[in-house]
Structure 1
Amino acid sequence: MRDSHIDWDRFAGELNGIRTITSGGQLRGRSRDFSWYSPILNEQLKDCVADLIVFPRSEDDVKRIAALVSRWRVPLTIRGGGTGNYGQCVPLQGGVVMDMTDLKQVVEIGQGSVRVEAGARIGELQSAVRASGQDLLMFPSTLRVATIGGFIAGGYAGVGSIRHGILKDRDNVRGIRVVTVEDVPRVIELQGADIQKVHHAFGTNGIITQLELTLKPAQDWLHTITLFESYGDALRFCTAVSTPELDLYLLTSVERGFAPFYAHLGERFPHDRHAVFAMVSPQSIDAWRELAARHGGVESQCMNAHALEEHGLPPAYECAYNHTTLQALKTDRQWTYLQIAHPQPFDIELSERLAQEFGDEIYWHHEFARQFGEYRVFGIPLVRYTTAERQYEIMRIFESHGCATFDPHVVTIEDGGMKEIDHAQIDFKRLADPHGLLNPGKMRGWEELAAGTLAD
């Protein structure tokens, strides 16, 4: 519902020279993200619509918008490509949605780093750094649509994490430039460990306008599919190749239930086999094949990006991470998903027992990655949705076996992650968003602080 106390036409008029949308279907369209992956969030957020969409083209535009929002005391939600799954860019209280996709300049590519504006599409950024002979350390499976600012503000890990760790790992993100929401906005440059004050904060405590990211020399990755008769064998193979001796950029396992969602792969992923999708360096492919054969694996594809394009085939990363959920939902909307972190060492026999227990209610999908230097196994299983109660019962079963669950059916930072209040992020919000206007409702710690219930 539009806030009847605000004259939105007058508000938009004060942004003379900056493109705005105050009515029509785009208000609803740009108030949504991929939270429809969750039937729970889809129902909860269906009526959340912005009152105005605004499109800055420069950091000066961002400062003008931030100043006006501060003076009028209206909510401000930051939006990138809208590929987030948790309602990060859905305006819970209406107000202004700032679409950052016109703020997209690659400012500077150096040896080992790139400075880029927050609204740049990651696919276009990757093409630009590739032209310099370098690669991004990691990206989401939705890189064609997602923006780099949205990935840093809402992401955790991604394609490349088997090689470079998660976004929080040291030096993956070198610097973040932030605009405050005040009557006279300031620009704050965060470096080193200080970037964690705004990383994965859902745009609740500062407007990210630029980022500096680490780059590595480019590799001509081979996109492989390896097939197995049992999912346990696929998991044992993935555990065996999770070693520094093999240079990998992606390592994903999915059970055979996913095959109908990838019908375009044909015999590369038949219905009676489980699959491992990977990106392997040419230097490691012989050792990779030797280990695959030892574990009963049969290679059904091995091509570089150029060959995939010639054959009209998707890259391996579009068969990984939450692209698996997206492909399933294109076919059948009854599915949703969960996110879990398995305890280490990874217990494959436990995974096999859970697979038997849940049967066709769950299709198994695992991502192999590093986090803070250690190899980890994350599950992103598809779940046949019935009720919210059953969804949370499944999560409790995982937790009873020592798995950490990351709830993808809530909008708050804390409840979807480690269930802990990040006091450093709240302290930075006091500095950068003193009136609490940025993405209200997404930072539970701030709401508790406002209510006087947050413990020091």
Structure 2
Amino acid sequence: MQTTTALDALIADLRALLGDDGVSTDARVRERASVDGAKMSPVILELLPLGLADVVAFPTTAEQIAGCVAAAVAHGVPVTPRGKGTGNYGQAIPMPGGLVVDTTRARAIVEIGDGWVTAEAGATMVAIEAAVRETGQELWMYPSTAQSTIGGFLSGGSGGTGTIVHGANHQGFVVALDVVHAVADASLLHVDGENAQAYVHSYGTAGILARVTVRLEPLQDWHGFYASFDDQHTAFRVLREIGRLTPAPRLVSADPAAIAEALPADDALPDGRSSLRAILDPAALDAATALVVDAGGTVEDLRDGPQASLKLSVLSYNHPIEWLQKSDPGTYVHLEVGGDALVDRLDEVQAVIPGGLLHIEAGHTVPIGMLAGVYEGPERLASVIAALGELGVGVHNPHQWNVDFEVERTIALAATTDPSGLLNPGKLNPDYAGPRKGAIR
């Protein structure tokens, strides 16, 4: 809890800026603004609650986001940015309390150009995608949680639909940013090119994203493609081959029957069979069909239109594991994994953890996925990570809220942009000694 004097002064300033409807100290609002999807992690679940906001602000423009940060800095109150709270590991939880800036009302799509779109941080990915489609364009990529905000995806996400071609969201997706530093008279600062990349995937610890410009590409007529197989080995081998087709897919996902059966019921996901799902260019449909049939699989359905693609997107990346967890609460933990060993040494990979089940995606260069298994404590999880490394599997342990991407660069930047350590405190820890070796990002 911050000092009463500082909080009262901050709340008064925020009400002057945003009006009474734009500021809340209600306990229920503060509680909702202080959690994210961290319950997906049994490691973090053991540590919750991690913090509780003292006040929540709801700016409606990028300029008001900057004004909220300026007010917090003036009164020495920590500030944590928040989008939809769809992150899974506590990055949006206000560990020291203070101010949470909920950006979801700052959702204007400011301008759409040839190959780019500018939107405020609270605009959702699905809304941006729908808007740019009207101009014959589409986003380079969007996360599996398509209702996430663009600011949240750039601050805490990595990849998703479109990653096969374009890589992660720090690999050219961002054209420019308007960011806010925690300095006296904080205001919008425009950065572009390489200077903008330093703020991506840093959880707002070096600057809060208020407005963003990201890349578009020409709209394609994507088709949803569903196939099934007797066994997961075949499904995974075919996934790797489909991921290498030209034109490249926008997404390819596959699951063993045990995970597929936990997904929402769909005639294209038959019980007892491994599932492969893809978003394909029409020019690749014949080749994908041949790969499935030649491997003894069955093409279950073809679906067209943007809603078909969206449905497949939300059944990718973390989401199948979330559905698996819902089917058997309290059982599963997961790790982010990558490499050809996921296909070539599948049985060995799944055997490193009790009840091992692998969800897999066609990645930018190699298959990537989520390995789930029975949670037996953090020490056992560390031994699983070591065993995967011996198999040639790249591993990222997501069960921590500390910035673990370009850490030294972010620390150096934050020394200038956040000299008092007010931006999302607890998330940029220079003494953090967690698992980075072999990270797949």
> What's the TM-score once normalised by structure 2's chain length?
0.91
Which piece of structure 1 moves more, 241-250 or 349-358?
Answer: 349-358
Q: Which runs of 5+ in 1 are unaligned?
A: 449-456
The partner residue of 1:38 within 41, 58, 61 is 41
Q: % of aligned pairs identical?
A: 27
Deviation at 1:11, TM superposition (A): 2.2
- Structure 1 residues 174-185: aligned runs within 5 Å: 174-185=175-186
After superposition, the Cα gap between the structure-2 partners of 1:251 and 1:221, relative to the gap in structure 1 and judged at 3 Å, is same
Residue in structure 1 matched with residue 259 of structure 2 by the alignment: 258
- Structure 1 residues 74-85: aligned runs within 5 Å: 74-85=77-88
Is residue 246–residue 287 contact of structure 1 (8 Å, CA) maintained in 2?
no
Residue in structure 2 matched with residue 56 of structure 1 by the alignment: 59
Is residue 349–residue 391 contact of structure 2 (8 Å, CA) maintained in 1?
no
Residue in structure 2 matched with residue 298 of structure 1 by the alignment: 298
Residue in structure 2 matched with residue 283 of structure 1 by the alignment: 283
Q: Deviations over 1:215-253 (max 9, x none)?
A: 111122111111111211111111222225243100111
Residue in structure 2 matched with residue 381 of structure 1 by the alignment: 371
Residue in structure 1 matched with residue 359 of structure 2 by the alignment: 365
Which piece of structure 1 moves more, 278-287 or 324-333?
Answer: 324-333
The partner residue of 1:396 within 375, 386, 391 is 386
After superposition, the Cα gap between the structure-2 partners of 1:93 and 1:282, relative to the gap in structure 1 and judged at 3 Å, is same
1:162 partner letter: I
Residue in structure 1 matched with residue 237 of structure 2 by the alignment: 236
Distance in 2 (CA, whole Å) between partners of 1:6 and 1:185 is 21
Distance in 1 (CA, whole Å) between partners of 2:225 and 2:263 is 15
After superposition, the Cα gap between the structure-2 partners of 1:348 and 1:74, relative to the gap in structure 1 and judged at 3 Å, is same
Q: Deviations over 1:360-386 (max 9, x none)?
A: x1221111111xxxx121121222223
1:331 partner letter: S
Distance in 2 (CA, whole Å) between partners of 1:320 and 1:366 is 9
Q: Deviations over 1:99-148 (max 9, x none)?
A: 0111111111011111111110111111101111111111111112x100
After superposition, the Cα gap between the structure-2 partners of 1:210 and 1:231, relative to the gap in structure 1 and judged at 3 Å, is same
Residue in structure 1 matched with residue 414 of structure 2 by the alignment: 429
Residue in structure 2 matched with residue 70 of structure 1 by the alignment: 73
State the number of aligned residues: 429
Residue in structure 2 matched with residue 327 of structure 1 by the alignment: 323
The partner residue of 1:349 within 344, 350, 357 is 344
Which piece of structure 1 moves more, 245-254 or 181-190?
Answer: 181-190
The partner residue of 2:313 within 314, 317, 330 is 317
Q: Which runs of 5+ in 2 are unaligned?
A: 434-441
After superposition, the Cα gap between the structure-2 partners of 1:5 and 1:447, relative to the gap in structure 1 and judged at 3 Å, is farther
In angstroms, what is the RMSD of aligned CA positions?
2.1
1:377 partner letter: P
1:412 and 2:397 are equivalent in the alignment: no
After superposition, the Cα gap between the structure-2 partners of 1:47 and 1:157, relative to the gap in structure 1 and judged at 3 Å, is closer
Distance in 2 (CA, whole Å) between partners of 1:70 and 1:175 is 24
Deviation at 1:209, TM superposition (A): 0.9
Distance in 2 (CA, whole Å) between partners of 1:305 and 1:6 is 55
> What's the TM-score once normalised by structure 1's chain length?
0.89
